[in-house]
Amino acid sequence: MARTPSNPFAVILLLMGAAALSGTATAQSCLAFLSPPQATPLSSKACTVSVDACDGTRSVEFTALYNVPGENEPRQQVLGNITRPPFKLVWNMQDIPNQVYEGMSLVAETTLRNRERDTTRREGIFLTHKPVKRPRQTAPYRLRGWTRQNGSFSLSAPDRPGKAEINVSWNEHYLVFYLAVQDPFFYSDLQANELNKLGAEIMIDAKSARKPFPSEAALVYSIPIKGAPRRVVYRPEQNENGSFALAESTHEVSYPNRIRTEDFKGYQIEFGVPWSAMGEEVPPKVVVANIAVHLLDTASNAEKIAWAAGTGHAIYAPFLWGEIHLRDKPVLASPWLLWLVSFAGGITLGLGLLLLYRLLVGMSSLGRFERTETEERLLHDIMNTIEERITDPNLGQTRVAQLLSVSPGRINRILKRRHGEGFKQCLMRSRVEIVKERLRSSHSSEAAIATSCGFASVDEMEKYFKRYCRTTPYRFREEHQVT
């Protein structure tokens, strides 16, 4: 049994302390929230707010403290003052934005009959009653290799010169993120505390639960410029006094990643999240995710810009995250199937090429035969026409073409293909042969012979005679003339 103090002053102090403790206990237990529930999203346009109050309560005033995007301090709204039990009211939330991440607070202040006041607070009230426009992207299948590819999307901030280009792809083992961050304020000699601000965050709602706050099931990865990637684990904590908090812990992960930096241009991050980390054996059709990058401003302050949910703590709320739809895997993406199709295609192609070759050879032989017969006839006509008019000084390629109703170019091509010389060379060679005969058998002058053989002058005759006979007409006559 406890011993009673003998000093009367001590007794009085003890009794006063007990009364104070009793009053505190009464005050603490006199007012308690019944609704709305804590950490349970409210998706309707209205909800019931109620408290349990003691008998001595004269009135209860309800106040909401809620957050507005872009504002640092919460706004306050008086919901109403209830003067008789039950102490509850219906709260119309239509004009209040969604409340995510840490939620909002409700405050109930009671006035007792003895004019004393008591206050209780409930935090962690989450509202998801407003429609959300979630971004959506597709991720193509990529068997191996991480590179930039078509189908990327960009992130940018109105007051920042930098931006980021993002690609997402997938294979049987990983969901792969490629981020190319363009930041003109970045350089590798930044101070360590500034470099630590830079990097990216990949957030995945592994269970697609769409909670308004991150839980242990949410995969949040921080990929810094310097150091190893880390996973941030969130643990929601609800206390009996109505407070709500998100406790954080981190640990390193050894997932495939690669980082490249370039001074005054920015950095590139490649990061692969294994399907096993999401509890998936087979890649799902849709992945709920968010992507954030960190950009520097002129004062070396880092700001996060995110694919979904804009800025601030809201970027960590899975309720607002976007959707990544995995494109179907191409039929020929499997290596063994690709090898089998390639093998079968190779055999088929080989047989087809062999058949085509034989067909073309047959057609080519027939074509060559037909072409040879036609050219032989035309060549015969060309040579006859030249022989019949060889002494005509006006005979030329155009004239022969007109007589035979063919193009001058075709005449030239046939003569070159069969004799290795064009029309003019063939004509002059034939005329030189006639000159040689007349030099041997006649005493006519060279001028007379040149004119009778179709040459324009003695000089022209001597020019071609020297070209084809390697001597002059005079010497030829001395050596070969028949007396």
Residue keyed to tokens 């970045």: 186
Indicate where the chain has its CATH 2.60.40.1190 domain(s): 136-332
* Backbone torsions φ then ψ of 280, nearest 5 degrees: -110, 130
CATH number of the domain at 29-127, please?
Answer: 2.60.40.730
325 by DSSP, 3-state: which? strand
Of 20, 219, 204, 211, which Cα lies nearest the Cα of 128? Answer: 211
Q: How many CA atoms lie within 13 A of 105 on its CB side?
A: 18
pLDDT the model gives residue 466: 92
Indicate where the chain has its CATH 1.10.10.60 domain(s): 362-480
The span from the CA of 470 to the CA of 458, in Å, is: 17
Neighbours of 364 (CB within 10 A): 11
pLDDT the model gives residue 265: 87
pLDDT the model gives residue 220: 96
Token pair recorded at residue 394:
């006006």
The span from the CA of 121 to the CA of 63, in Å, is: 10
Tell me the CATH architecture of domain 362-480: Orthogonal Bundle (1.10)
β pairing state of 153-156 and 244-252: unpaired
pLDDT the model gives residue 483: 64
pLDDT the model gives residue 17: 40
The span from the CA of 148 to the CA of 145, in Å, is: 10
Residue keyed to tokens 């363009």: 182
67 by DSSP, 3-state: which? coil
Report whether CATH 2.60.40.1190 matches the domain 136-332. Answer: yes
Residue keyed to tokens 């991720």: 139
Neighbours of 450 (CB within 10 A): 24
- The alpha carbon torsion through 154, 156, 162, 165 (nearest 10 deg) reads -10
Q: Consecutive sets of 10 residues in the chain, 483 residues long: mean pLDDT of each?
A: 39 36 46 91 94 90 93 93 93 93 94 86 94 92 64 77 89 92 83 82 93 92 92 90 90 93 90 93 93 81 84 90 92 61 75 77 48 80 88 89 89 86 90 90 89 91 91 89 74
Indicate where the chain has its CATH 2.60.40.730 domain(s): 29-127
Work out whether the CA dihedral 216, 220, 225, 228 comes out positive or negative: positive
Residue keyed to tokens 């035979």: 404
